[in-house]
Amino acid sequence: MSSKKVTVDLTVNGEPRSVSVEPRELLSQTLRERLGCTSINIGCESTLCGACTVHTDGKAVKSCTRLTVQEDGADIRTARTLADDGVLNDLQTAFSEEHALQCGYCTPGILMAVDEYLDDNPDPSREEIRTEALGGNLCRCTGYENIVDAIEVASDALED
């Protein structure tokens, strides 16, 4: 069943890492199970819930549907890179102030998806936040409203 392993070089949260993986291994598996990146959560394993979202070379991707061998040379960042030496960034601060998380399982993935979205569209409407910024993520606890509020607050802060 097992096949030949491939060596893949990654930069993970700023650290160079080299892993030897089977071609079938998912990026989410490599990051969680080999490299200890447990901020990545596995909710659906089918690209629907977005809990495993990370940045590869600055783009938000769902790591449960990327093969690690596709990412050779990639710069990968997880939610652990958002804060600056323990100081929450504007988006994280807004999530806390607006009570935008309950169980928090979806939160790191949402932060990574929205962080990239706001780069491209720094002043989204509520409608755009609902359909686009959060278009790839599921949350079962909050009913989304406070997440939408938090993203509005963060986008205002980013403008200032």
Partner 1 sequence: MTAEPTDEGIGSEVQRREDRRVLLGESKSTDDRQLSDPMHVQFIRSEKAHTRFSIDATDAREIDGVIAVHTADGIARSETPTPGPFPLFSAPMPDLDYPDEELWQRCIATEKARYHGEILGVVVAESRPIARDALESVRVDYDPLEPVVTSREALAVDAPAVHDAVPDNVAFEGGQGDRAETEAMFDRAAHTVELEKESQRVSPSPLEPRSAVGEYDAASGQLDFTATTQIPHAYRRLLAGILDYPEHRIDVTVPDMGGGFGARQHPYPADALVGWCAIEHEATVKWRATRTENQLVENDGRGYEGTWEIAMDETGDILAVRADIRYDLGAWLAWGGASLAEAGNLLMTGLYDVPTAYSHVTGVVTNTARVDAYRGVSSVPMILMLERLVSRVAKKADMDPATVRKRNFVEPDDFPYQAPGGALYDSGEYERNFELGLETVGYHSLREKQSRLRAEGRYIGIGFACATEVAGLGPASHIDAPSWGYGSLQVHPTGEVTVYSGGSNHGQGHETSLAQVAADELGVPFDDVRVVENSTKEVTEGVGTFASRIAALGGGAVAKSCRKVIAKGTEVAADEFDVPVDEVTYRDGTFTHTGSESESFPFSEMAAKVHLGQDIPEDIEPGLAAETYYDPENCTWPFGTHIAVVEVDPETGEFDFLDYVATEDCGVQINPTIVEGQLVGAIAQGLGQVLYEDVEYSEDGTLLSDSFRTERVGSRGGYTLPKAEHVPDITVRSTETPSPHTPHGAKGMGEMGTIAAPGAILNAIEDAIEPFDPEPMTPPISPEKIWRAVTGREL
Binding mask 31-60 toward partner 1 (x if CB under 8 A, else -) reads -xx--x-xx-xxxxxx-xx-x---------
The token duo for 70 is 């596709």
Instruction: Provide φ and ψ at 34, rounded to 5°.
Output: -100, -35
- Least gap, CB of 122 to partner 1 (angstroms): 19
Please select the residue that binds partner 1; options are 9, 23, 103, 123, rule is CB under 8 A. Answer: 103
Residue of 63, 59, 60 whose CA lies nearest to 44: 63
- Sign of the Cα torsion 83, 86, 89, 93 reads positive
Told to check if 157 binds partner 1 by CB under 8 A, we report: no
Characterise 141 by phi-psi region: left (phi > 0), alpha (psi -120 to 50), beta (else).
alpha
**Residues lying near partner 1 in the complex (CB under 8 A):** 1-2, 22, 32-33, 36, 38-39, 41-46, 48-49, 51, 78-80, 82-83, 86, 88, 92, 95-97, 99, 101-108, 111, 126, 129-131, 134-135, 137-148
